[in-house]
Amino acid sequence: MQTAAPQLSTGSVFELVDVHYAYQDIPALNGVSLCIPAGQCIALLGANGSGKSTLLRLLAALCFPDRGQLAAFGTPLSEERMQQEALAYDFRRRVGLVFQNPDVQLFNPTVFDELAFGPLQLGWEKADILRCVDAMLAQFAIAGLKHRSPHRLSGGEKKRVALASVLITRPDVLLLDEPTAALDPRSQREVVRFLAGCRGSGRTVVTATHHLDIVAEIADYCFVLQAGRLVAQGVPVDILGNAALLRATQLLDAHNDSTPHP
């Protein structure tokens, strides 16, 4: 199923044209072309190994295409261009990535230090950092964790700290890799509630997930990946209603005819 992409009323944040990427000659993305509009909440859907995480890493400029074209905010994005200090600073200020495993992301001695790290790197004034750290601690209900070591927290607490540490710099674009993975039901609902609240906020959010039951709440539009290729795109009601597509891409058990409620 290949439906028309959403119209770009306010411009595109990311554009990919025939993008290829491989890990030591093992293909991860194979000719992906897509456009992500500003202000939209996008779901990247696919089974494990479909290329979702690799695509997020390219969007975050943590790696770059072997072939094809990648642009961010209307400007070509490449390893050479990211060596330019001004361009790299502006990009890192505007784009934030939350990894699937928060232990990969959290490295500071305390939660306070974790939240303050990004603003410090961006050269914020001390008073602004203190004010924004306190605001994020309150927003994510982690004020009681302020002086705790992130690595001694529960999975849900770590995820909230990771989100807060990215959002404190107020990025225009938020990228999330399997944000509900390995969380208890209550923590999952907190994350989904936050993502649902992003819709209509003006922020661009790209969430990679294979959990179909959250898609209708968090996404305006979906891209479906399989074996490194873009095989379908459309609004959630159309994607979730296509049982044949979901089974073919291993997002739905082939022996289970039920589909998630759009």
pLDDT tens digits for range 200-238: 999 999 999 999 999 999 999 999 999 999 999 999 999
Q: Who has greater pLDDT, 262 or 240?
A: 240
pLDDT tens-digit map of 7-60: 433 478 999 999 999 998 899 999 999 999 999 999 999 999 999 999 999 999
Quick one: three-class SS letters along 134-200?
Answer: HHHHHHCCCHHHCCCCHHHCCHHHHHHHHHHHHHCCCCCEEEEECCCCCCCHHHHHHHHHHHHHHCC
Specify the pLDDT at position 260: 64
List phi, psi (to 5°) of 37. Answer: -75, 155
Give the mean model confidence (pLDDT) for residues 106-124.
94
252: CB partners within 8 A, 6+ apart? 212, 243, 246, 259
CATH architecture of 12-248: 3-Layer(aba) Sandwich (3.40)
Reduced to 3 states (helix: H, G, I; strand: E, B; else coil), residue 262 is coil
Name beta bridge partners: 42.
206, 221
Specify the pLDDT at position 171: 94
Specify the pLDDT at position 5: 45
17: CB partners within 8 A, 6+ apart? 33, 68, 69, 70
CA distance 116 to 100: 21
9: CB partners within 8 A, 6+ apart? 37
* 182: pLDDT strictly greater than 70: yes
Map out the domains of the chain as residue ranges.
12-248
